[in-house]
Amino acid sequence: MSRVAITADLDAVVEFDSVTMRMPRRRRRKGAGRRQRLRRIAGEVRREELEVLRNVSFSIQPGESVAIIGPKGPGRQALLRLAAGTLRPDEGQVRRGRRIVPMIEVARALQRFYTVRQNIFIVGGLLGMTHEHIDEALPGIAEQAGVSNMLGRYMNAAPPAVRQKLAWSIAMSVDADAYAIDQTLVVGERSFRQQCWTHVDKLRENGATFLLSSDSPKQFRRFCDRALYIADGRLEADTTVPEALAAMRAARKEARDGDGAAEGTP
């Protein structure tokens, strides 16, 4: 994170200019029967490239909370990673005026055979925190995540819910003005989720910027004041959350109706 370039004279938090991002798509060779089974066992594949983002342009201003809405797929997460600087586009340019913390699959970065304390340093370092900053923040992180009594234990002893809470607490301890979040705006049981809401609401009141991708429309309606609707890799609409959700529902209905018509064709 420390190597991500920041454009000092950029007023926007992040700016996408004609950004295209490609990822490899796996497809097994066509065929059937014994030959296909042998190819499957051999792991034979051919690679194709899929444009998960195509000529996307927009900018996010300080203090905005922006929902990234669209069908499930790699495009939403790729957009967040590009915004945070952990991916580079194949075409176009992404510029950042602020540091953006990537809260994307953070819990997966926790290492099972290191202690909870060591994992706080590992993940904090990955997110750009210095050792001095982590030393100072560690008691608060442990208390918030409820792991103060297990700092010396191996992470593999912690249940998944505790790992989620720990990852969230570490990420929210990073000094930053902006966050790119995939699915994890709030985590844990009801009481901890309320703590999460209190914390992110306070950050937002203090001017923090959020880019949020989630499968939960409730989070969008509760927290976001703007939406980017991404479909087939394209930015189809820069609009409000209700309008973007309505566009996605309409697209799903059209796809279902099209499939039904195709099945009914003699």
The residues near 186 (Cβ < 8 Å, ≥ 6 apart) are 193, 196, 197, 200, 219
pLDDT tens per residue across span 35-89: 656 666 666 655 578 899 999 999 999 999 999 999 888 899 999 999 999 999 9
Q: Which H or E element spans position 259?
A: helix 241-264
Q: What is the pLDDT of residue 157?
A: 87
pLDDT of residue 47: 58
Please report which confidence band the pLDDT of residue 216 belongs to, taking 50, 70 and 90 as the band edges: confident
| Residue 234 β-bridge partners | 231
143 belongs to a structural domain: no
**What pLDDT, on the 0 to 100 scale, is given for residue 8?**
84
> Does residue 115 lie in a domain region?
no
Residue 161 located in a structural domain: no
pLDDT value at 262 more than 60? no
- Give yes or no for a contact between 25 and 48, defined as CB atoms under 8 angstroms apart: yes
Residues 6 or more apart whose CB falls under 8 angstroms from that of 109 comprise 122, 123, 126, 167
Domain that residue 239 falls in: 14-99+176-264
- Number of domains present in the structure of the chain: 1
pLDDT at 50: 87
List beta partners, residue 26.
47
CA distances from 202 to 45, 98, 206 (A): 49, 19, 6
Per residue in 27-47, pLDDT (tens digit) is 555 555 666 566 666 666 555
Question: What sign has the CA pseudo-torsion 84, 86, 92, 96?
Answer: positive
Q: Does residue 139 form part of some domain? A: no
The reported pLDDT for the residue numbered 148 is 94
Assess if residue 2 is contained within a domain.
no
Is 224 part of a structural domain of the chain?
yes
pLDDT of residue 6: 87
Give 156-167 pLDDT, tens digit per residue: 988 999 999 999
Q: Highest mean pLDDT: which of 3-12, 199-208, 244-253?
A: 199-208
pLDDT 10s digits, 165-211: 999 999 999 988 999 999 889 999 999 999 999 999 999 999 999 99
Sign of the torsion formed by the C-alpha atoms of 230, 236, 241 and 246:
negative
Cβ(46)–Cβ(29) below 8 Å: yes
In a domain, 107, yes or no: no
Residue 55 domain-assigned? Answer: yes
**Counting beta carbons within 10 angstroms of the beta carbon of residue 69, is it exposed (0 to 12), middle (13 to 18) or buried (19 or more)?**
buried
CATH number of the domain where residue 224 is located: 3.40.50.300
13 vs 263, more confident: 13
| Amino acid identity, position 149 | N
Is the pLDDT score of 26 beyond 80? no
Whole-model pTM? 0.83
Average pLDDT, the chain: 88
The amino acid sitting at 152 is G
| CB-based contact 81:87 (threshold 8 Å) | yes
pLDDT band at 266; cut points 50, 70, 90: low
CB neighbours (10 Å) of residue 21?
24
Kindly state the average pLDDT of the residues 6-12.
90
> Which residues make beta-bridge pairs with 176?
none
